[in-house]
Amino acid sequence: MMKHTLLALSVFSATALGAAHAQEYPAKAITITLVLAPGTGLDVVARTWGEQLAQALGKPVVFDNKPGANGIVAVNAVKNAPADGHALLVGTSAALALNQTTYKQLPYDSAKDFIPVSVYLKSPFILIVHPSLPVRTALELAAYVKARPGQLSYSSTGPGGAPRLATEMFAQHFGLNLIHVPYKNSPQAIIDIAAGHVQLGFAEAGASQQLIRDKRLRALAVSTLTRFNSLPDVPTLAEAAKRPGLEAVSWHALVAPAATPRAVVNRLHGEMTRILKLPDVNKTIANLDLIPAALASIDEHRQYIAAETQKWGDLIRKLGLAGSQ
């Protein structure tokens, strides 16, 4: 009887403490650290919903951009901050998923050190080719490349970045032998396809659409599970490859240190779910050639990040890039 009484009291105390945290939160300004620089799509979208979050919580939301080292600088800063809901992080799939495998020594473990509040958007890639290639679909491209093993090249923004991994996933699905040509930045990687120096690649939507409209690039597929509004005639990679569920995207997520009181995380999650339904927020996302992610529970967000970490980790290991940084 005494044990049951003590257990009931402990559960009641924890519940009451959580409720108290939620009622008292926030007690001061909330600082959200961003893994990318000011002016990037991640920065613009975060500041858009950040204004709404500040209004809802009644406290200022301050953004602190800490780019560098594939997001490690920003992630580590928030990991070491007090876990009270006043220090949050906006990270990308590179910082929260890919780094787990590509880095030999990482000062954080995304799954253990953070709890997701919201995976709120996806950044799609477009499979592009130089117009001189006699292909109009992803299947035609696969057949063309397969007949010329080791003769065609693709560009990407680095050895373990999302564009390269998307291309390698495509290549492995069809058993293709392509030459990788890495670039320091996305614009140059895309421009060199338009110039014919390399033949194909997966490119960020925002950086490639004008060249597609100018017919200097040909779009064969988009890497999301749904078609892209501005390219309605271009099929998804899943459609083109006839493989349901095939997706290769980057994504943005708001996360909190793992020890943050669950009542506070729940409140933030609820506010983000409401804010992400607002037309103005969705318009900002769409104007940047990004796609709102499906609204989901905290546990579903956790499962998604874990699945992405596993999916890309398996490919990174297969490519021999595990621990390469």
Q: What is the pLDDT of residues 249-266, one digit of tens each?
A: 999 999 999 999 999 999
pLDDT band of residue 162 (cuts 50, 70, 90) is: confident
Strands 125-129 and 87-92: unpaired
Give the mean pLDDT of 21-42.
90
CATH class of 24-123+250-318: alpha beta
Q: Specify the domain boundaries for CATH 3.40.190.150 within the chain.
A: 24-123+250-318
Q: Check if the beta carbon of residue 35 is closer than 8 Å to that of residue 75.
A: yes
Give the mean pLDDT of 109-138.
96
- Measured CA to CA, the distance from residue 147 to residue 152 in angstroms comes to 10
Q: Which residues of 120-132 are buried (b: 16+ CB within 10 A; e: fewer)?
A: bbbbbbbbbbbee
> What is the pLDDT, as a whole number, of residue 13?
45
pLDDT, the chain, mean: 91
Tell me the pLDDT tens digit for each residue of 265-299.
999 999 999 999 999 999 999 999 899 999 999 99
Report the length, in residues, of the chain: 325
Which secondary-structure segment (H or E) carries 24? helix 2-24
Tell me the pLDDT tens digit for each residue of 187-208.
899 999 999 999 999 998 888 9
Please provide the DSSP assignment of 145-204 as one string: HHTSTTT-EEEESSTTSHHHHHHHHHHHHHT---EEEE-SSHHHHHHHHHTTSS-EEEEE
Q: Which residues of 175-207 are buried (b: 16+ CB within 10 A; e: fewer)?
A: ebebebbebeebeebbbbbbeeebbbbbbbbbb
Backbone angles phi, psi at 154, to 5 degrees: -130, 150
Whole-structure pTM value: 0.88
pLDDT surpasses 60 at 5: no
> What is the pLDDT, as a whole number, of residue 44?
96
Extended beta strands in the chain, E state = 30-34, 61-65, 87-92, 114-123, 125-129, 153-156, 179-182, 200-204, 218-222, 250-257, 291-292
Higher pLDDT, 9 or 29: 29
> What is the pLDDT, as a whole number, of residue 325?
85
Which structure tokens are listed for 27?
């007690």
Multiple choice CATH, 125-241, 3.20.20.370, 3.90.550.10, 3.40.47.10, 3.40.190.10: 3.40.190.10
pLDDT surpasses 90 at 213: yes
Higher pLDDT, 20 or 52: 52
pLDDT band of residue 139 (cuts 50, 70, 90) is: very high
> What is the pLDDT, as a whole number, of residue 284?
95
> What is the pLDDT, as a whole number, of residue 3?
53
Give the mean pLDDT of 38-57.
96
Q: Specify the domain boundaries for CATH 3.40.190.10 within the chain.
A: 125-241
Which structure tokens are listed for 47?
């500041």
Q: Check if the beta carbon of residue 193 is closer than 8 Å to that of residue 203.
A: yes
pLDDT surpasses 50 at 11: no
Which secondary-structure segment (H or E) carries 217? none
- Measured CA to CA, the distance from residue 66 to residue 38 in angstroms comes to 9
pLDDT surpasses 90 at 132: yes
